[in-house]
Amino acid sequence: MAITYDQGLSFVQGFGAAIAENKAYLTQLDSEIGDADHGTNMDRGMQAVLAKVGSLEGADLSQLFKTTAMTLISTVGGASGPLYGTLFLGLGTATTGKTELSTEEWSQALDAAVQAVRARGKAELRDKTMIDALQPAADALRESAQDGATLEVALAACERAAEQGMQATIPLVARKGRASYLGERSAGHQDPGATSSWLLVRAARQAFTADT
Ligand X SMILES: Nc1ncnc2c1ncn2[C@@H]1O[C@H](COP(=O)(O)OP(=O)(O)OP(=O)(O)O)[C@@H](O)[C@H]1O
- Site residues for ligand X per CB under 6 A: 30, 34-35, 37-38, 41, 78-80, 83, 121-123, 129-131, 176-178, 191-194
Q: Counting contacts by CB under 8 A, is residue 16 touching other proteins?
A: no
Is 186 within 8 Å of 173 (Cβ atoms)? yes
Q: Which amino acid makes up residue 119?
A: A
Is 186 within 8 Å of 180 (Cβ atoms)? yes
Candidates 31, 47, 63, 99; binder of other proteins (CB under 8 A) is: 31
Site for other proteins in 178-197 (CB under 8 A): 178, 180-183, 185
Q: Counting contacts by CB under 5 A, is residue 43 touching Mg ion?
A: no
Give the whole-angstrom CA distance, residue 113 versus residue 118. 9
Question: 131 is in the binding site of which of ligand X, Mg ion, other proteins, none (Cβ under 5 to 8 A by kind)?
Answer: ligand X
Candidates 8, 14, 16, 34; binder of Mg ion (CB under 5 A) is: 34
Is 196 within 8 Å of 38 (Cβ atoms)? yes
Question: 73 is in the binding site of which of Mg ion, ligand X, other proteins, none (Cβ under 5 to 8 A by kind)?
Answer: other proteins
Is 22 within 8 Å of 29 (Cβ atoms)? no
CB closer to ligand X, 8 vs 45: 45
Q: How far is the CB of 145 from ligand X (least distance, A)?
A: 25
Candidates 19, 49, 50, 73; binder of other proteins (CB under 8 A) is: 73
Instruction: Compute, in degrees rounded to 10, the torsion defined by CA atoms 131, 174, 185, 195.
Output: -10
Give the whole-angstrom CA distance, residue 188 versus residue 185. 8
3-state secondary structure of 101: strand
Is 123 within 8 Å of 25 (Cβ atoms)? no
The residues of the shown chain that bind other proteins, judged by CB under 8 A, are 27, 31, 34-37, 40-41, 44, 73-83, 120-121, 173, 175-178, 180-183, 185
